[in-house]
Amino acid sequence: MASGVTVSDVCKTTYEEIKKDKKHRYVIFFIKDEKQIDVEVIGARDEEYDQFLTNLQAGGAGECRYGLYDFEYTHQCQGTSEASKKQKLFLMSWCPDTAKVKKKMLYSSSFDALKKSLVGVQKYIQATDLSEASQEAVEEKLRATDRQ
Partner 1 sequence: MALVTIQRSPSSGSSPSQDDTAEFHDSLDSNRNSKSLSECYFAGKGTALVLPDADASAQPHPACAVDGANAAPSEVADGATPVSVAGQNSSAIQRHLQSMFYLLRPEETLKMAVKLESVHPVRTRYLVVVSRMGSRGEESCLLGIDCNEETTVGLVLRVLADTKITLDGDGGFSVSVCDSHHIFKPVSVQAMWSALQTLHKVSAKAREGNYFQGGGTHSWVEHYEARVASDRSCLNEWHAMDCLESRRPPSPDSIRARPTERDETEKVIRSTLKEIMMSVDLDEVTSKFIRSRLEEELDMDLGEFKSFIDQEMLVILGQMDAPTEIFDHVYLGSEWNASNYEELQKNGVGHILNVTREIDNFFPGTFDYLNVRVYDDEKTDLLKHWDDTFKYITKARNEGSKVLVHCKMGVSRSASVVIAYAMKAYNWDFDKALHHVKDKRSCIKPNTNFLTQLETYQGILDAMKNKEKLQRSKSETNLKSPTNNNKVEKAPSGGTPTPVVQALSKSYDLHSSLSGQDLRQMGARPKSWSPDNLATREIKEGVKSSPGFMSLEDLSQKSASKENVQDSKSSLARHVLMPCDNGESYSVSPNQIVHLPGHDTTTRTDDKRTCLAETEVKIDNSSCSISRVKTVVASETWDPGEDKSAKIIGLIVSDSTTSPVCDQKLSSIVPGDSSRTPVWTSSAVIMTQSAVSSNSFSKVPESRSKNTAQSDLFSNQLDKVFDKEEKKQQRWSTFQATADLDDKLARECPSRQSSWSSYDSAVVMGFPEKNELSRHSSWGSGDTRILPSRNSSWGSYDMRPRTSVYYNNEKGEKILHSTSDLEQNPSGIFPYDKEDIPWHPGTVKRTKQRLEGSVTTARQLTNDSVSSSCVSLNKTPSSETLFNFAEAVNESLVERGTTTLDVESISAISNKIDIPFTDKCSVLSPNISRLSTSAPEPCSMELVVHECSLSRSTSNVSGKDASVQPLENGREQCSSVKMQTSFLESLQKDYQMSTKKNEESFENSLGKVKNLKKEFEAKSSSVGVVDQMSISTERPERPLKVTKNRSLPSSPVCIHQLKELKVVSDDLNFKTIRSVFEKNKEETQHVKLRQKSSKTNGRNHSSRYSCIEMAIDKNPRILSTSLICKTEKSECDYKRPPIVPAVKQIAATVIATAAKKQQQYGKTHPLARINIKPRHNNPVYNTM
Q: Footprint of partner 1 on this chain (CB under 8 A)?
A: 1-4, 6, 62, 95-102, 104-105, 108-109, 112-113, 116, 126, 128
The per-residue DSSP string of 29-71 comes to EEEETTTEEEEEEEEETT--HHHHHHHHTTT-TT--EEEEEEE
CA distances from 66 to 7, 9, 75, 82 (A): 12, 16, 26, 34
- Provide the minimum distance between the beta carbon of 108 and partner 1 in the complex, in angstroms, as a whole number: 6
Distance CA 68, CA 72 (A): 13
Nearer to partner 1, 37 or 95 (CB): 95
For 134, which DSSP code? S
CB of 2 to partner 1, least distance (A): 3
Minimum CB separation of residue 37 from partner 1 in Å reads 14
Question: CA 133 to CA 136: how far, in whole Å?
Answer: 8
Q: Which is nearer to partner 1, 47 or 132 (CB)?
A: 132
Burial zone of 111 (CB within 10 Å; 0-12 exposed, 13-18 middle, 19+ buried): buried
Nearest distance, CB of residue 30 and partner 1, angstroms: 18
Q: Which is nearer to partner 1, 109 or 135 (CB)?
A: 109
Shortest Å, Cβ 84 to partner 1:
27
Is the CB of 18 or the CB of 64 nearer to partner 1? 64
